[in-house]
């Protein structure tokens, strides 16, 4: 999930508005927070830490998608597969996992 989506969901879940978040972040006005929530800008490190404190989550949780995107251990195919998986509904995700596990089991027996 992108940072802007995460911010919007966490703010909604905690009943906070952009103005509430701006009040908790040094040197950030409402317009700036709204631009973060719209995905137009990214907060700096200090602002990110203040956002995390205001929302009651670890700062790393706000950047989890960015961190996985930059993970050098993942191949392009793994990123594509994960993106496709996330686009499926729960039933489809379950079916895809069954197929993948079945294929992995067959590959292990062929060796």
Domain boundaries, the chain: 3-67, 72-110
* Residue 59 pLDDT: 84
* Residue 30 pLDDT: 95
The model's pLDDT over 21-69, given as tens digits with 9 standing for 90+, comes to 999 988 889 999 999 999 899 888 899 899 999 988 888 888 765 555 5
* Residue 107 pLDDT: 65
> Angle 60-63-67 (CA atoms, 0-180°, nearest 5)?
95
* Residue 108 pLDDT: 58
How far apart CA 37 and CA 28 sit, in angstroms, is: 13
* Residue 73 pLDDT: 59
* Residue 105 pLDDT: 83
Assign a CATH topology to domain 3-67. Answer: 434 Repressor (Amino-terminal Domain) (1.10.260)
* Residue 110 pLDDT: 55
Which has the higher per-residue pLDDT, 106 or 16? 16
* Residue 78 pLDDT: 79
Please state, for a pLDDT cut of 70, what percent of the chain lies above it: 85
């Amino acid at each position: 999930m992108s940072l802007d989506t995460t911010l919007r969901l966490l703010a909604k879940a905690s009943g906070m508005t952009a103005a509430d978040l701006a009040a908790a972040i040094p040197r950030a006005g409402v317009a700036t927070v709204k631009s973060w929530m719209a995905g137009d800008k990214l907060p700096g490190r200090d602002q990110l830490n203040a956002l995390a404190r205001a929302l009651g989550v670890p700062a790393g949780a706000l950047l989890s998608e960015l961190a996985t995107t930059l993970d050098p251990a993942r191949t392009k195919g793994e990123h594509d597969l994960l993106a496709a998986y996330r686009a499926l509904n729960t039933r489809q995700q379950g079916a895809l996992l069954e197929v993948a596990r079945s294929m992995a089991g067959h590959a292990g027996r062929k060796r």
